[in-house]
Amino acid sequence: MEREREDDPYEAIEYGDFGTYFRHKKQKLQLQQDEIAALAPPDLAQIFEGIVVYVNGYTDPPIHEIRNMIVQRGGEFRQYLSKSSITHIIASNLTQAKMKEFRNYKVARPDWIVESVKANKLLPWHNFNTLRIPGSLHRLESQSLTSLSFTRSPSIPQEPPSAVQAASLAGSASNDTYSASEIDASRDPTTETHQPSPDPLDDGEFFTEDLDLDQLELQLTPPNTINNTGVASYVKEPLSDTPLSGHENLNVLPTESADLANTDRASSFRSPDTPPPIAPTNGTVSIDSSPGIPHGVIAADVLDTRHPTLIELSVPWNRLNSSVLPGFVEKFYQSSRLHYLSTWKAKLREITAEIQKDKPRLSSISKDRVIMHIDFDCFFASVATRGKPELQNRPIAVAHGSGGSTSNSEIASCNYLARGFGVKNGMQLLKARSLCPDLLVVPYEFREYEDISIEFYKILLSYADELQAVSIDEALVDVTSRCRSTWGQTENTHGGPGNENDDNDMTQTDPGKLAERVREEIFQATGCHASVGIAPNILLAKLSTKRAKPHGQYIWPSAPGTEQTLRELRGPVSLLSSLDVECTPSSDSDKDSQSRTQDAQVEERQRAPKEFSVKDLPGVGYKTMQDLQDRFSVHTLYELQQVSKEELQRICGMKTGEMLFNSCRGIDDSTLASDREKARQSVSAEISWGVRFENQEQVNIFLQDLSKEVSKRLKEIDRKAKSIVMKVMKRKEYVHGHWKHLGHGPVDQFARTGQLPMYTDDPEIIAKEARNLLQYFKFDVLDLRGKFNF
């Protein structure tokens, strides 16, 4: 099957006459749109760019007026509900049935369009939400550690370690000072997370150039199953936007037949695909006059008629850092922090599972669990500054390109001093420097991270009944057997950081003491500070750590679901509304705020429990946060507590809705996944940066290299695969703007699954099928961007 994401005019590749009919209708409509757009005054602000609307039912401004307003200002209009491509639905009111049908769409009243036009800017649609839930929201109610070690892959290139580092650290030390002091920004977990696909969040920037990305993904499947080769059929990519993208996924089966009980995913592929009934447009480079492309589409460089990819590759430096250069894949993986993060996680899971395999399962199920969550403070940044007093008082960030001031690489980790300026993990350097001009950029030290992590895990394993590796710098430990739980049925009246307790029970340590001991031990062993949260479940342990950061600890004071925990989760709200609450760490004594220095204020803010936002909950990212905001106007946990479980489930889904309902009350029954169990289900390799091709030969080499990578990983875990999924990205033609250097830029994504002739880990076989799957799309190599996923 071919799958395409994003708004491609041909996206809904529906088969049969029905689909053909709709497709024609759609094309016709888009032609009309182009005409309308062409007639529009050229200077209309394109406020609806990227908006694709479907109008349902009768509307106040008649539908054609709405259409004109939208199309003339860069938006698109769909005559039929094309679920995959629409961004919004316009409706004055909805029947019960429609409400249900549109549950997962953004439905706004017509005046959203009208008012936006008046304001000459795109207003937030949720202020015009047709489905807006009425009221109800703001009610006031309310051990064998020594064996632990990474088997280092060939060698971690240590970045331009010495050179750059020496220069930037020692050399510049005189100019800068590093500071360990943190400003509160600790709260925000919002480390700007990387968005893998075209995403509005991209740091507020729009893609202006092409992005590259290739991805190969293999899914593990049971070894015994045999399947047919998925011979690629040819399909032509319609006029669609320019960019081609493709990826392949391979489903792999465990070599040990038993493992993945053949969930033979492959079976789905057995039927040979029939090529989509679309006329092949062969990889024509599109200049695109494709329908649906909004104004402004004119290629950025009107003067240079060469293909954008060729223009990019004409810059020597770009060539040297793109996939046209042999050895690109290896080089990329040596430098990709996200690749390291993923690799480390897999390895740590494997290692800790192995270590814990023998020992009996201790707890994890009991009602009175004691869960400890440990997480290094700004890990990469801490490693950079440890033992370097001259760096302690400076805002620093770990990123590539520490050499010049023109670098716009992404920050992997910044220290808390930098966060005080608003700098965040994941932020691009130019933006970070605009917020914090004195930001010192230091290089990665991948080897160090590994070594430190091993020491870290050794220590934690010595305390663990059960341990779950979360990441290179973070773990969950069940310490029930050696820690006296303090939050039984009776509500704990105090709580708070650094909980003192002089209990010296031999076997049952006080949580506060335990946390102190662990933190100190970690610091002694690694020179880096970690924060610790201890609580009766995983959720509260993580929230405790968040509250403890940086360089602190927090013992959750009360049991899940209790009134006190509800108040704790509300943060300042409860402090304001109920002065009788005694758990306020910050004393009233220093109320003379006028005389306070900023530092003092900062300090106090750090100490006072912060109001938790929904984004603080594990599992709640940008999308869920937006949904809660749009549908319920909910931002904080306090507000979330006011919404019924039914409503949450209706909007967010059964599982997620229940999770949200429980989480905002501190309830979480999930257990530690110590990974002694289940085998991996898939193995994949993908690259979405620097992917640019001039000819098929380069594509083949790239696929070959990725196939080798996947093959290597399969062999490492002694598994084989038979099902493969190829994912590809194809650049959008019309987009203008700027995006990450050599990134994939605006793309459409495509996926195609196939079957290998047998369970295998042979790179040649994998590569062959990958080529077949990619060939199916018949994309112009110049438009290939990234993500060849096998």
Ligand X SMILES: Nc1ccn([C@H]2C[C@H](O)[C@@H](COP(=O)(O)OP(=O)(O)OP(=O)(O)O)O2)c(=O)n1
261 exposure class (CB count in 10 Å sphere: 0-12, 13-18, 19+): exposed
CB 377 → ligand X: shortest distance, Å?
Answer: 4
The answer to the question of residue 103 lying near DNA (CB under 7 A) is yes
Name the helix (H) or strand (E) containing 730: strand 719-731
**DSSP readout, 136-186?**
-SS-----GGGG------S----SSIIIIIIIIIIIHHTT--EE----SGG
Count the alpha carbons within 13 Å of 418 in the hemisphere toward its beta carbon.
35
With respect to Mg ion, which residue has the nearer C-beta, 417 or 699?
417
Stretch that binds ligand X, among 28-36, 191-199, 630-638, 720-728 (CB under 6 A): 191-199
Applying the rule CB under 6 A, the residues between 313 and 342 that interact with ligand X are: 337, 341
d(CA 365, CA 645): 25
Question: Is 259 marked as a binding-site residue?
Answer: no
With CB under 6 A as the contact rule, the residue among 431, 549, 722, 744 that binds ligand X is 549
d(CA 183, CA 771): 52
CB of 782 within 8 A of CB of 699? no
CB of 269 within 8 A of CB of 755? yes
Count the alpha carbons within 13 Å of 343 in the hemisphere toward its beta carbon.
23
Output the six-digit token pair for 110.
């017509």
640 bridge partner residues: none
d(CA 621, CA 600): 32
Q: What angle do CA 306, 202, 744 make, to 5 degrees?
A: 35
The answer to the question of residue 719 lying near DNA (CB under 7 A) is no
CB 335 → Mg ion: shortest distance, Å?
Answer: 21
The answer to the question of residue 473 lying near Mg ion (CB under 5 A) is yes
CB 378 → ligand X: shortest distance, Å?
Answer: 4
With respect to Mg ion, which residue has the nearer C-beta, 109 or 529?
529
Q: Using CB distances below 5 to 8 A depending on partner kind, what does residue 32 bind out of ligand X, Mg ion, DNA, none?
A: none
362 exposure class (CB count in 10 Å sphere: 0-12, 13-18, 19+): middle
The answer to the question of residue 744 lying near ligand X (CB under 6 A) is no
With respect to ligand X, which residue has the nearer C-beta, 332 or 380?
380
Name the helix (H) or strand (E) containing 77: strand 76-78
CB 341 → ligand X: shortest distance, Å?
Answer: 6
Tokens 């925990």, located at residue:
565
Stretch that binds DNA, among 489-497, 564-572, 602-610, 741-749 (CB under 7 A): 741-749
**DSSP readout, 58-70?**
--SS-HHHHHHHH
With respect to DNA, which residue has the nearer C-beta, 197 or 562?
197
CB of 729 within 8 A of CB of 246? yes
- What SS3 class is residue 542? helix
CB of 708 within 8 A of CB of 333? no
The answer to the question of residue 338 lying near DNA (CB under 7 A) is yes
Tokens 């019960």, located at residue:
96
With respect to DNA, which residue has the nearer C-beta, 440 or 625?
625
The answer to the question of residue 684 lying near DNA (CB under 7 A) is yes
With CB under 6 A as the contact rule, the residue among 207, 379, 487, 759 that binds ligand X is 379
The answer to the question of residue 416 lying near Mg ion (CB under 5 A) is no
Q: Using CB distances below 5 to 8 A depending on partner kind, what does residue 680 bind out of Mg ion, ligand X, DNA, none?
A: DNA
With respect to Mg ion, which residue has the nearer C-beta, 615 or 736?
615
Verify whether residue 474 is a known catalytic residue.
Answer: yes
The answer to the question of residue 284 lying near DNA (CB under 7 A) is no
The answer to the question of residue 412 lying near ligand X (CB under 6 A) is yes
Residue type, 634: V
CB 375 → Mg ion: shortest distance, Å?
Answer: 4
Please tell me which residue in 11, 448, 474, 709 is annotated as part of the active site.
Answer: 474
The answer to the question of residue 182 lying near Mg ion (CB under 5 A) is no
With CB under 7 A as the contact rule, the residue among 90, 148, 213, 460 that binds DNA is 213
Stretch that binds ligand X, among 111-119, 378-386, 608-616, 671-679 (CB under 6 A): 378-386
Output the six-digit token pair for 270.
């057995």
The answer to the question of residue 204 lying near DNA (CB under 7 A) is no
With CB under 6 A as the contact rule, the residue among 85, 227, 229, 425 that binds ligand X is 425
Q: What angle do CA 195, 239, 218 make, to 5 degrees?
A: 45
The answer to the question of residue 335 lying near DNA (CB under 7 A) is yes
Question: Is 375 marked as a binding-site residue?
Answer: yes
CB 368 → ligand X: shortest distance, Å?
Answer: 28
With respect to ligand X, which residue has the nearer C-beta, 173 or 341?
341
Total binding residues for DNA by CB under 7 A?
A: 100
Q: Is the peptide bond before 550 cis (omega within 30 degrees of 0)?
A: yes
CB of 248 within 8 A of CB of 789? yes
Residue type, 75: G
With respect to Mg ion, which residue has the nearer C-beta, 250 or 383?
383
Q: Using CB distances below 5 to 8 A depending on partner kind, what does residue 655 bind out of Mg ion, ligand X, DNA, none?
A: DNA
Q: Which residue number places its CB atom closest to Mg ion? A: 375
**DSSP readout, 623-660?**
HHHHHHHHHH---BHHHHTTS-HHHHHHHH-HHHHHHH
- What SS3 class is residue 502? coil
The answer to the question of residue 82 lying near DNA (CB under 7 A) is no
Stretch that binds DNA, among 237-245, 303-311, 453-461, 616-624 (CB under 7 A): 616-624
Stretch that binds Mg ion, among 70-78, 416-424, 470-478, 662-670 (CB under 5 A): 470-478
Applying the rule CB under 7 A, the residues between 380 and 439 that interact with DNA are: 399-404, 406-410, 429
- 8-state DSSP, 278: -
With CB under 6 A as the contact rule, the residue among 4, 76, 473, 783 that binds ligand X is 473
d(CA 80, CA 87): 13
The 3 state secondary structure assigned to 269-328 is HCCCCCCCCCCCCCCCCCCCCCCCCCCCCCCCCCCCCCCHHHHHHCCHHHHHCCCCCCCH
The answer to the question of residue 376 lying near Mg ion (CB under 5 A) is yes
With CB under 7 A as the contact rule, the residue among 40, 132, 177, 339 that binds DNA is 339
With CB under 6 A as the contact rule, the residue among 34, 209, 445, 474 that binds ligand X is 474
d(CA 514, CA 464): 12
194 bridge partner residues: none
> How are beta strands 178-179 and 393-393 bridged, if at all?
antiparallel
**Sequence ranges of the binding site for Mg(2+):** 375, 473-474
Catalytic residue numbers? Answer: 474
Give the binding site for Mg ion (CB under 5 A). 375-376, 379, 473
The binding site comprises 375, 473-474
Query: Which residues would be at the binding site for ligand X (CB under 6 A)?
Result: 191, 193-194, 337, 341, 375-380, 412-413, 425-426, 473-474, 549-550
